[in-house]
Each structure stands twice: as C-alpha cells, then as structure tokens.
Amino acid sequence: MNLSTWSIRHPVPPIALFLVLLVLGLNSFRGLAVTQFPNIDLPIVTVTVSQPGAAPTELTTQVVKPIEDSIASITGVRHISSTATDSVATTTVEFELETNSDRAVNDVKDAVTKVRADLPESVQEPLVQRVDVTGMAIQTYAVSDRTKSIEQLAKFVDDVIARELVTVPAVGSVTRIGGASREIKVELDPDRLLAQGLTAADVSGQLRASNIDLGGGRGDLAGSEYSIRTLGGADSVAKLAATPIAIAGGKTIRLDQLGQVIDGPSEERSFALLDGGPVVAFGVFRASGKSDLEAGEGTKAKLAELSKKYPDAHIQLIDDSTTYTKENYTRAMETLFEGAALAVVVVFLFLRNWRATLIAAVALPLSVIPTFFMMDWLGFSLNTISLLGITLVTGILVDDAIVEIENIVRHINMGVPAYQASEEAASEIGTTVIAISFSIVAVFAPVGFMGGISGQYFKQFGLTVSVAVLLSLTVARVITPMLAAYFLRSVPHREPEKDGILLRGLMRVLRWTLRHRLITLILGFAIFAASIYSATLLPTEFVPKSDIGRSQLTIELPPGATIEDTEATARAISARIQQSPEVESVFVEGGTGDVTKARLALNYGEKETRERTQFEIEAAIKAELAGTPDLRINFQNEGGQNDLNISVLGDTEEAAALAAVRLSEAMSRLSSLEGVNSSASLRRPEIQVIPREDVAAQLGVTASALATTLRIATIGDVDSNLAKFNAGDELVPIVVRLNAASRDDLLRVQNLRVPSNAGQVPLGAVADVRLSSGATEISRYDRRFRTTVSANLAPGAVLGPASAEVTALQGKIDMPPGTEIQAAGDAEIMGEVFGAFGSAMGAGLMLVYVVLVLLFHSFVTPITILLSLPLAIGGAILALFATGYAISLAVVIGFLMLMGIVTKNAIMLVEFALTAMDQGVPKREAILDAVHKRARPIVMTTIAMTAGMVPSALPGSAGAEFRAPMAIAVIGGLVFSTMLSLLFVPSLFSLIDSLQQRMGRGIGRLIGINKPTHGDVPAE
C-alpha cells in the first residue's frame, strides 16, 4: 500500500498534518522580515588606523604594509585589500566562508597587536571591527531648525534623534551626515608666539596639563573619609581665555593675548545640502536580521513623536529605499495570486469539472503557506531572491496536482468509481510525479549550496524552491488523491472523445517520425546546434537595470580643490539638475573621505507618476551637464560604483599607475564606454619638508619633531592629546593651532619655530620647503599595489561584451613587467556568479540523472530524458531575441528552471511507455499510446506554468526589469520544448531502447551474463 492509498483510506491524519502546517505557515509569514536582499553573515573584518596629517604614501609604508604582513599569516584569509587616504588607512580582510566571524575578529586583533609597537607613535589606536553586511541606509532624513546653529543642530541629531531611533526594535544604527561638532579653537598669532618664545605645541601642552579635572586619591579628616579631586578645568570659555601660559623668565601671559579663543563649530571637512540649502542629515540602517519595512515604519512613527516634542525642528524624508522594497514585495505577492488564478483557469478550461479544478487549486496554498514556515525555520527573509523563487514556482506547484487529477478524471471517465479510480490512478502515476518533482529539486538544490559570496545570496533561492516543490509533491501524493476519492463524482463509462484536429495532426507526424527516426534525430540535433549558436548572438549583462526612482551621481573636482569649492560646485550642479520636471529633490553629501568629491542623490518619485523612465531622465541630465569644465561627473549604479571597474595590479605603485594610464587611454577609444578615468592620474599638490641632515643633526632636530610642529601648527594635535573643556554634558575639544592667515602662507610656514638644543630655530634653517605633488589615494590588493580604471557603459552597450573588449586590450597594450588586469565591481561578480551557476547546473544534471536511474532502474533510459533539455534553449533564446533582452542573471535563473521543468514532459512519456512495454505492449504501440494519453496533461501543465509566468513577464511594476527577462525565457523555452518533445523524445526513446537491447544481448553473449529464470525464483 503506497502513500496515496494510505491517505485515501485514512484521511484524518493527512488533513490534521496540513492544518497544523497551515497554521504554522501563516504565523511564520506574519513574522518573516521583509528586506531588499538576504541577510548574510560574511566573515569580513576591517582595521582602521588614523594618523592626523599623514599622507597616503607614509601610511602605506609605515602602517598598511606591516599590518598586511602580520594578517597574511592568519589561517583562512582569502583576500586582503587596503586603502590609504589623507590621515586614514583602512585594511579589509575577507576570510573563507566557513570561518567563524568572532574568531576572525579575534585573530585580526591579535595580528594587529603584534605589530602595534612597530607603527608610528602618532597613530591612534587601531580599530578592528567586523563588517555587518546590511547594505546602505534604508532611509535618509534632513533636519533643519532656525533656532539652532549648525553645531547645535548636529548635537541635536546625535544626542536626541539618534538616541531615540536606536530604541526602535528593527533599527540597527543611525549615522549623521554633514553638520559639525562643537569645538573651541585657539587661533594663535605667530608673531606673538615668536615674541614670547612659544610654539603652538607648547601652548597645547600647557593647556592639556592645566585645564583638567583629576582625582587625587582619598584621605581621612576628623574621622571621616574624603575623596580628593584636583579641579583645574575652566568652567566657562571666558575663564579658559584667561588661562595663564608660562613664558620665559618665570612670567605668564593670558591665553587670549596670544590669539583668539573661539567657541563654535569644528572646521568644515564635509557638508550636506538639500535642494541647494545646507542641512544636517542622518541615515537609518536596519538591524541585522530585521525587516526593512518594520525599521522604516518604526522610524517614521518615532520621528513623528519627536516632531511634536520639538516643534522648531523640521525633519524631512529625502530618500526611502523601503518604498521600492515594499513595492517589490507587494508586486511579488500580486504576481503569485495572479499566476495561481491563471493556472487554475487553465485547469478548468481543460477538465471542465469544477470539483477537479477546486482540488487542483487547493494544492497551491497547501504548498506555499507551509513553505513560509520552513523559510522562518531556516532563518530566511522575504527578499528579492526568495520572493523570486516563490513566484517562479507558481506554475510548478499546481503541476503535480494537475498530473494526478487529470489521470484520476481519465479513469473516472472510463467508468471506474471515483474512490477506486483515485487509488488506481494515483498508484499508476506515482513514479511519474515523484520523478518530476525530484528532478526539479535535483536542479535547484545545488544552487542552495553554491560556494562563495554569491552562494550566500542564492542559498535562499535554491532552498526555497526545493522546499516548495517537495511540499507540492507531498500535497499531490497525499491530499489530492484523498480529496478526489471523496469529492469527485463517479460517472458512467464514456466513450473516449474523438481526437481534436491538433491531436490528430500530432499523431500523424509522430507516426512519420517513428518511421524515420534517424531523420528526426538529425533535425533535433540541428535545432540543438542552432540553439547553442543563437545563444552567442545575444549580449550578456549582470543584472538588468531597474527603475527604482532614484539615481546616484558623483562629482569630483581637481586635486587641491577646497571644501568650499566642492560645496559651491555641488550647489550649481544641483540647481541645473532641478530644472528637470521629474526631479523631486537633490540631496548632496560632500567631503566624506575626500574634500574634492561629492555624491548627489536624485529622487524622481514613483515610476507610475512620471512620463519618462529613470534612464531617460539620466540621459537628459547627462546631456545637460556634459562639457562642464574641470569636473568629473558620473552616474553610478545602486552599489555606488561605475558600470565597469578594472583593477590594475602591480608590484610597485609606479608600475600599476603606468599600466592604468595606458589601459585608460586604450579604453577611451572603445565606442562601448564613456567617462573613462583612472585613479592614477589624480595627484594632489603638497608641501614637502626635507630636513637638511647635517644642520638638523647638529641642532638635534629630528624629522619627528618637524612633523609634530607642523601638524600642531596647521591642524592641531591628535584627539587623544587635546585639552578638553567641560561643558557639563560633554567634553569639548580645545584645538590649538595657528590662525587661518598664517596657515595659508608658505613663508609663515617656513618661519615656524622648531625646538632644538640651541633653543628655537626657524624651520627654514634646518629644512628645505618645496611644492610638489603626491598620491591622492593608494590602494592595495593581496599585498600588491592596485590602481582602478572605471567607466560607464555607452547608450545601448551591455556589460558582458564591454568587459570582454577591455580584457582583450591586455594583449594589445604595452603593460609594464609585473602588472596584470583584473575585473572588479559588477564584472568580477558577474564572472563569479555565472561560474557558480554553471557548476550548479552541472551538479544538477548529475543529480537528475541519479534520481532517474534510481526511479527507472536503468542507466540508459535517463539519457533519453536528459537529451530533451537542449530543446528548451532555442525557444528561450528566440523569445529573448524577439523582446530585445540580453542574457543576464535573471535569464540564467530562467535556464535553471527550464532544466527542471522540461524533463517533466519526457518523464511522463517515457514512464508511460515503459509501463506498457512491461505489460507486453509492442514498443511502437506503447510509444504512440503514451503520446496519445499524455499529450493532454503535458499541454495542460505547460499552459498552466506559462500562465503562472505571464504576470512576471509583464513590464511596468516594481522589480519587473529583473523578473521579465527570466519569465520570457521560461515561457519561450516551455512552449518550444513542449512542441518538440512530443515529436523528438519518442523517436529518441525508440532508438536508444533498440540500441540498449541490441548492445545488452551482444554483451550478454560476449561475457556470459546470467539471467533469472522462473525456476530461480524461490517459492514463497
């Protein structure tokens, strides 16, 4: 007694089981997080080291290289990448995926501790932390308040808004953008310092020693214990300005007699603008594992409370990625319902039996809803990837039920009572249904176990589809026969309906193909060859561009530009962009990391409210801004990168830079690229101070003393060495340095006094000061120097061919010795993902073969089924060509789905024919009868799955740019393969079966294989 028969005879347990699964599934669905991308845990650790005033070259030599060498010895390290910019060096360590993240952090901390003593004394303590991959900010807000200064507004964001928002359950962190912290600046007059024999370092040191409150221990007085405190800190800015500074001769001078004491914002090194006006903004990041929508809604509710509490503060939402996430989620759910409805309509049109249609329709919720429980149990979320898997299998989930119910209805129409027909039909079709489902699982399961970062993203896709299909199989084998046995009505024996014109034509052509098997196979292989060739005619890209209603635009000024120049340019560019009617807002974030760069976020609103698409608006803005002098302007993708990025690696910085320049020149001549630029060409102006070794040695002046003097005089001392002013609720840093007029005068810099063993001497007396240029940024990858060449795709160009053209350039240009070109960005990820999917497809084919061997007990018969797979490729390519889509990640996923689906038709035909042949029916008649009786369920399931994919193929909704090419490829492949499999598979099966029998007899006679006889079977 098989499972279907058991469920028919014992209906209560399966009903109870699925009722429990439905309750668990509905409860899990309400609790599943909704995110844009899957939550993944990658063992990535960063080491950040700050050294105020240090140039990238010194940071690379003195900080980056020692840390890299120490980290390289850690077990499990996959890649090490480093970036040195002005004052900051960051090293990112990527470990193998199986490495525990906490252990990775501890190992890196130990490695950094080993070399800490070798780093310069002036570096701040290295910060080692794990990278939490939660993506970009889900929401960005701007805050303005006419009653507050810029530093007060920044403090309001840090101390009030951020503190309140982190209490929202799904919010992970809040980051301020723009604004300035409060700072007390002591702007010293160099002439007054010279007159008093002081330096900026002397003043800063005296303030640090005197303006401080410290504990002094404890003591007993009159039998009581007292704590002892030393209170030297000034309690007002006026008192701080009156602080006495010791000078020669035992005298003192007030601090404000040496310069100005200013209480105000810190020096502007970054800014934020909204529609051209200054603002303080903040970004909200969701907590790992939480829902984007929950974090977004919770943030809005909390900010609404704060707006009532602080009516003068105006908080404006300027970017909200949760809108796109919610639209994508809503559209995926709608697609699921629409696809299911269409599939059910198809079943009704074919069976014309509302009871049978209802039973088939029940399969979908019974498969999908428990899938949510399994997703919750596995720690998945409702994201772009998992929702893609759910919508993808809409047609498949009713497929097994259709096969079961169609076979049951056919038996009932033969006059068999419904109860008996359900048992007989379910037993008859059992192997077919199991083979179909396990073949699909065998294709998708390897995707859930792909390696690399891409495997972490697509794990949820492969396993979600596999779980849903297995639940669909369970429903088809347990629930569908049971419901059919009790709810379908028995009917008297009916004469078989006459074949329609299409079926009669199919049978005539089939008889001809069976008489001319060789010609049929040649035609089939010709179609396969043409399909493979046609695939080369389509371009390749990574992910189709989506209209998400916002764009990222970067501007970069020449090296040496000031933050004021960048802000003024950003205002001008914002004003020009706002002339486009679709642009709702322009938010600018400038100076972060580099004062010459700014990033503009353009918001266009929802696509339904616009006449032009995002890409048309971007093209118009490009045309408007084209030709702007002394400015690099680039639109970037969602990841904040250019379309094409190439890494040039070299053993030396000079070799990598030279190779990058030559490569960028060659890339500029390619018609498929625009806006080619190289980081090697960016060198910033700098002032170089070179000690005169003999004079400096005689006077006891070291290079370290020169650097310290210059650093304190120009930007102030490091944070840990600064004096602090106690403002009650915070400690405000006191920055001591020369006034602005002196810092901007090179002659003044040369006259700075440096301590020596002969007293203070002018800097120009012990060192040469000259103008030069140096690197803006130095990057390294796996302990080699890296220079980046980036470009955007020209209109009409796609990533695959453009990347291939750039790769081909390596053999055409004169590359310096020891250099190489390596894909980066989307091109690198595309190669990794496509390679991983290729391996997953290969593993899937092997698993499908193993499954079919176990089910059919033959090593040869499954070959017939697997050879039907190429039939789908031609249809998919033809559909993509007709609709103008390229081969992208979405299409590759569609091909993967076709591998699982197309085998269904061959399995249904071959299994039915083999069963008839085992009963003594001649092979030709068995094949013809298999096609005659299986044509209807094959066409039904194909049309049902096609109908289920139609909503995904329709453009216009959120996420349609990704789903549409996948759906079109699946629909084209399904229709094409169904037509051909009904003709090609029978001839192929007939030929292979004949060859199997002949070879079996020949091998048997050759080596003498024993065969069982009736007498060999033991009596029971």
**Integer angstrom CA distances of residue 790 from 96, 676, 797:** 28, 6, 15
CB 569 within 8 A of CB 599: no
Strand, coil or helix: 430: helix
DSSP secondary structure code for residue 757 in this structure: B
Strand (E) positions, 44-135?
A: 44-50, 77-85, 88-95, 127-130
CA separation for the pair 754, 692 (Å, rounded): 14
The pLDDT of residue 305 is 92
By CB neighbour count within 10 A (0-12 exposed, 13-18 middle, 19+ buried), where does 466 fall?
buried
The pLDDT of residue 499 is 66
CA separation for the pair 905, 399 (Å, rounded): 11
Which of 335, 350, 477 minimizes the C-alpha distance to 18?
A: 477
What is the b/e burial string over 967-982, where b = at least 16 CB atoms within 10 angstroms of the residue's CB?
A: bbbbbbbbbbbbebbb
**Integer angstrom CA distances of residue 701 from 541, 716, 767:** 60, 20, 10
The pLDDT of residue 861 is 80
By CB neighbour count within 10 A (0-12 exposed, 13-18 middle, 19+ buried), where does 685 fall?
exposed
39-88 per-position pLDDT tens digit: 777 788 999 998 887 888 888 999 999 999 999 989 888 889 998 888 88
**Integer angstrom CA distances of residue 555 from 320, 589, 601, 932:** 22, 11, 11, 67
CA separation for the pair 720, 731 (Å, rounded): 12
Which of 278, 246, 886, 867 minimizes the C-alpha distance to 540?
A: 886
Strand, coil or helix: 786: strand
Chain centroid to CA 712: 43
**pTM of this structure:** 0.77
Within 10 angstroms of residue 813's Cβ, the number of other Cβ atoms is 13
Question: For the residues of 253-277, what is the DSSP string, one character each?
Answer: EEGGGTEEEEEEEPP---EEEETTE
CA separation for the pair 716, 722 (Å, rounded): 8
Within 10 angstroms of residue 1006's Cβ, the number of other Cβ atoms is 8
Which of 286, 234, 289, 230 minimizes the C-alpha distance to 256?
A: 234
Question: For the residues of 361-394, what is the DSSP string, one character each?
Answer: HHHHHHHHHHHHHHHHHTT--B-HHHHHHHHHTH
Task: State which residues of the chain have pLDDT below 50.
Answer: 1015, 1017, 1019-1020
Reduced 3-state DSSP string for 434-464: HHHHHHHHHHHHHHHHCCHHHHHHHHHHHHH
Q: Are strands 767-775 and 683-691 parallel, antiparallel or unpaired?
A: antiparallel
Q: Are strands 778-781 and 77-85 parallel, antiparallel or unpaired?
A: antiparallel
In the numeric block, the tokens 């001649």 are attached to 922
C-alpha R_g of the chain:
37
393-446 per-position pLDDT tens digit: 776 777 777 777 878 887 888 888 888 888 888 888 877 788 888 888 888 888
The pLDDT of residue 97 is 76
Reduced 3-state DSSP string for 10-27: CCHHHHHHHHHHHHHHHH
> Residue 195 contacts by C-beta under 8 Å, 6 or more apart in sequence?
none
CB 985 within 8 A of CB 861: no
Which of 136, 97, 80 minimizes the C-alpha distance to 836?
A: 97
Two structure tokens written together for 9: 């005879």
CA separation for the pair 417, 419 (Å, rounded): 6
CA separation for the pair 188, 185 (Å, rounded): 9
CA separation for the pair 179, 148 (Å, rounded): 12
**Integer angstrom CA distances of residue 441 from 367, 912, 947:** 14, 22, 22
CA separation for the pair 336, 334 (Å, rounded): 5
Domains of the chain (ranges; CATH) run: 1-31+353-493 (1.20.1640.10), 41-132 (3.30.70.1430), 199-257+684-775 (3.30.2090.10), 500-536+858-1004 (1.20.1640.10)
Which of 775, 782, 785 minimizes the C-alpha distance to 659?
A: 785
> Residue 969 contacts by C-beta under 8 Å, 6 or more apart in sequence?
876, 879, 880, 885, 891, 894, 895, 898
What is the b/e burial string over 758-792, where b = at least 16 CB atoms within 10 angstroms of the residue's CB?
A: eebbebbbbbebeeeebbbbbbbbeebbbbbbbbb
DSSP secondary structure code for residue 123 in this structure: S
CA separation for the pair 989, 517 (Å, rounded): 10
CA separation for the pair 877, 883 (Å, rounded): 10
Two structure tokens written together for 438: 């396990």
CA separation for the pair 150, 684 (Å, rounded): 30
120 dihedral zone (left: phi>0; alpha: psi -120 to 50; beta): beta
CA separation for the pair 198, 558 (Å, rounded): 37
Written as one letter, the residue type at 878 is L
Helix (H), strand (E) counts: the chain: 36, 31
Strand (E) positions, 409-563?
A: 550-556
> Residue 857 contacts by C-beta under 8 Å, 6 or more apart in sequence?
none
